[in-house]
Chain A
Amino acid sequence: MKIYVLGDSFTDNLFKYEIDALDNNEPRYGQIYEYVKLLRSKNLPNPLYFEDYLKLWGHEVINLGQGGCSNYSIFHQFSQIKEPFDRIIINWTSITRFDWYHKNQHFRTFTGGIAPGSNLTVLDELLIEQGLNRETNQTLINQTIDLISFFVKMFEKYKPIIWAPYSYNIIKNNKGFIWGLNDSIFYPMIRENKKLDIFQETDGKINDKHYGRYGNFYTALIFNTILEHTKDIEHDGYYIKDSELISKIEEKIKTTPHNIMEL
């Protein structure tokens, strides 16, 4: 299947950048870089993103994900989709994120984070406050849901899968939705559920909440099961209400070997 994947850093293949940098002896900083380096120092294979697993399992994946972006940028990613393709997987990001423009074309997405110990400027305070105001604003939530629903409907024939690794509450009733790994449904099924993200897997040595090797493997497994299950059938897109599908996912989670070696 030819699959487009859209979203933020949970979709953008963060490992690939760091692996390439390490292969090319480019000095880099950041937690993902340290993670890949740590694995290599233990003679472990490079980690794989869920995109990599889907490729390994025979899919063609076009990744439009963009680390640190806002939902607006994810909407923009739709304009890069070129037909023909078979399926689409979209991870929505936090509603608190928004785009901010600076002098001289400098652009960033405000993600809510300010480095600890920073001296906050008035701008920082204003942006932090805006992030908080956005979190609970019902109009914004409704508008975001409406636009997400619009795109899901627009791409209905491609049976979209939508997910949000953390703030999934606003989309959980939407067509196409599937739970993330930390949700109470899949979480107890996963043997290594205490090692899903990098922070957990490295026992707190590396402070990064993106999925590590286990999180990516199980995410890929869930997607692949949905893709295969719905491949040749008419499906209403309400995956979480399809008990046969959820059972299949459970079986796959419990029986598929990942061959990931302990850190």
Chain B
Amino acid sequence: MRVYILGDSFSDNIFTESINKLDNGIEATDGIYKYIKLLRENKINDPLHWSDYLKSWGHEVINLAQTGCSNYSIFNQFAEIGLNFKTRDRIILNWTGLNRYNWIGKRGNNMVITGGAQPDYDTNIKTKILYDQTLYRMESVDNPHGYLRRNTVPFMNYLMQLHNNYRPIVWAPIAQHNVIFEKEKYFIWEIDNDFYKDIIPEYNLLTIEQETNGKIEDHHYGRYGNYYMAVVFDTILRYTENINHDGYYIKDDHLTGLIVSDLQKNKCNF
């Protein structure tokens, strides 16, 4: 089965680049690099991304996701898939923050304004304007009458409908966005959702920050988060492979029961 992966850094295999840097003696300061370095210092194997697990479990993975991108860029990832659908092809997509937007710098550099605290927020009016834009966008999502909520969100759902034949799996690693998408077809909860709280023994170790006990401030999934996310995806892929499914995964008690059972049976031994 070919599995197209679309999304931001939660889908892009963020470990690969840092592993390559470490293998080639290139220094870096980002959280992912520090995380892998820390694991190596403790003689622990390099971490696997959930897409690595899917590969090792027999799926052909085509990863089009892009770290730090906006949903507008994710729309373009659909264009990369094109129309070369083959029976059994699937899509796993994570929507990113609706507050993110693309911005083109003076020198033609393409940036994504992702929000987050900026050191010069109070001193640089342009920084303030660009950062405030992410807040206003979030307001436009949170308010049911906001433009993003009324227009962009339906467009995102529409894009999924256009890809019905791929029987997609959609998730949003931002809890706030779950409220928007969880009633939609193809949605599944992200691994740190409350649903998994009493099922996963390492529920409090899912992100890098949690796993490293706050030593590394990075909210991406670490070894546990990636492993269990892969189990959830694999369960859905296998369960829906040869049946007609309406795509409302979280309303399918049999499927959610199977996910629970697979998570409990397939504990990791990191």
> Which residues of A pack against B, CB within 8 Å?
72-73, 75-76, 78-79, 99-105, 107, 122-123, 126, 129-130, 133-134, 136-140, 143, 146-147, 149-150, 153-154
Contact = CB atoms under 8 A, between A and B. Distances in A.
B136 A147 contact: no
Given A133-B106, A146-B79, A150-B79, A102 B136 contact: yes
Interface in B17-67: none
Given A73-B151, A122-B129, 14 more contacts: A72-B72, A79-B154, A79-B155, A101-B133, A101-B147, A104-B139, A105-B145, A107-B140, A126-B126, A126-B129, A133-B105, A133-B108, A140-B104, A143-B76
A134 B104 contact: yes
Contact of B83 (A73, A75, A105, A154): A154
A123 B78 CA distance: 33
B140 A137 contact: no
B239 interface: no
26 contacts: A73-B151, A75-B155, A76-B151, A78-B155, A79-B155, A79-B157, A79-B158, A99-B147, A100-B133, A105-B139, A105-B145, A122-B126, A122-B129, A123-B129, A129-B106, A130-B103, A133-B106, A137-B108, A138-B108, A139-B110, A143-B73, A143-B76, A146-B79, A147-B79, A153-B82, A154-B162
B56 to A, nearest CB: 32
B125 interface: yes
A146 B76 contact: yes
Contact of A130 (B104, B125, B137, B146): B104
Contacts of B110: 137, 139-140
Nearest to A75: B155
Contact of B79 (A72, A102, A149): A149
Contacts of A140: 102, 104, 110
A79 B152 CA distance: 10
Given A103-B136, A107-B140, A136 B108 contact: yes
B-side interface size class: 35 or more
A12 to B, nearest CB: 15
Nearest to A125: B126
Nearest to A142: B76
* Closest 4 A/B residue pairs (Cβ): A79-B158, A150-B79, A101-B136, A133-B104
A129 B108 CA distance: 11
Nearest to B134: A101
Nearest to B138: A101
Interface string B116-129: 00000000011001
Contact of A153 (B75, B83, B125): B83
B138 to A, nearest CB: 9
B264 interface: no
Contacts of A134: 104
Contacts of B151: 73, 76
Which of A79, A99, A103, A143 has the largest count of B CB atoms less than 10 A from its CB?
A: A79
Nearest to A155: B162
B146 to A, nearest CB: 5
B143 interface: yes
B4 to A, nearest CB: 14
Contacts of B130: 126
B78 A150 contact: yes
Nearest to A153: B83
Nearest to A100: B133
Nearest to A146: B79
Nearest to A147: B79
A82 to B, nearest CB: 11
A146 B73 CA distance: 11
A105 B143 CA distance: 8
Interface string B82-104: 11000000000000000000111
Contacts of A78: 155, 158
A1 B1 CA distance: 40
Contacts of A136: 108
A222 to B, nearest CB: 28
Interface in B141-176: 143, 145-148, 151-152, 154-155, 157-158, 162
B75 A147 contact: yes
Given A78-B158, A154-B83, A105 B146 contact: yes
